[in-house]
Amino acid sequence: MKFFLDTANIDEIKRINDLGLCDGVTTNPSLVAKEGRDFEEVIKDIASTVDGPVSAEVTGLTYEEMVAEARELAKWADNIVVKIPMTEAGLKAVSTLSKEGIKTNVTLIFSVAQGLLAAKAGATYISPFIGRIDDMGENGIELIADLRQVLDIYDLDAEIIAASIRHIGHFEQAALAGAHIGTIPGTLFPKLWSHVLTDKGIDGFMKDWEKFTSNQKK
Ligand code: G3P
C-alpha cells in the first residue's frame, strides 16, 4: 500500500517525507484555502518537495474549463496529477486528458458505478471518500473492497485512493480491503506510529535500565 498525505501544509508533508513514508500528496480546494497561500505557489512547493504524484484540483465545472485548467496544471511540474470531480463533464474531461497522457484523480466517488465509470474513462486514480460515506450511515470500507474487486475482475488500471480517512481504524481497514493507496491527513499520520503500550513499554525499560546501572555503580 502506498501512503499519500492529504494536506496542503508543507511542514506536515516535509515531516513525513523525511521519514521516507510519503509516496505522494493529495490536495483539494478546501485544503489549499486553509493554508492561505497562492494556489500555484503551494502546489509547486509541494511538487518540488516530494518525488511522488501530487494531486491538484480543477475549480471549473464545465468540460472546457476542466480541460483548460488541467492542461495548465500539468505544466507546473512532471509529478502533477489533475483532480477532477465525478460528474458527466468530469468523465468527458478525463477521457480527453487520458488520451493526452495527463494523469487524473477522479474525486468524490461514492459508489461502485461511479468508480467503474471513472476507471473506464481512463482515470489514473479514483478516490472514494470513506469518512463521508460513513457519515451517511453507510459503510465506506465495503465500497473500497467492492471497487478493488471490480477493478481486478475487469483488469482496469486505475488505482484506488482511500480518501476522507478520519481515524486509525479507517486506515487499517482500507489497507485490508485492498486500497492501493491511503491518503492520510497530516494531523492523523503521526498517530499511526503511536501506541500507549509502546510509550509505557519504553518507560518501563528505561526505569529498569536506570535502576540496573545505578546499582552497578554502588
Ligand atoms: O481526501 C478527501 C478529504 O480531504 C476529505 O476529507 O474529512 O473532509 O471528508 P473529509
Question: What is the per-residue pLDDT across 129-177, written as a single tens digit (0 to 9) for each?
Answer: 999 999 999 999 999 999 999 999 999 999 999 999 999 999 999 999 9
Closest residue by CA, ligand 1 atom 9: 164
Burial pattern 88-109, b for ≥16 Cβ within 10 A else e, equals: ebbbbbbebbbeeebbbbbbbb
Closest residue by CA, ligand 1 atom 5: 164
Element (H, E) at 3: strand 2-6
CA-to-CA distance for 25 and 10, rounded, in angstroms? 10
- Structural domains of the chain ordered from first start: 2-217 (3.20.20.70)
pLDDT in tens, 52-81: 999 999 999 999 999 999 999 999 999 999
| Residue 217 is among the residues annotated as catalytic for this protein | no
Q: How confident is the model at residue 217 (pLDDT cuts 50, 70, 90)?
A: confident
Closest CA to 90 of 57, 113, 112: 57
pTM above 0.85, yes or no: yes
Question: Which ligand 1 atom is the nearest neighbour of the CA of 161?
Answer: 1
Residue-level pLDDT at 218: 77
Cα–Cα distances in Å, from 59 out to 96, 157, 171? 17, 26, 28
Lowest mean pLDDT: which of 1-5, 114-118, 214-218? Answer: 214-218
Evaluate: CB of 55 within 6 angstroms of ligand 1: no
Phi, psi of 19 (to 5 degrees): -80, -10
Residue whose cell numbers read 505557489: 41
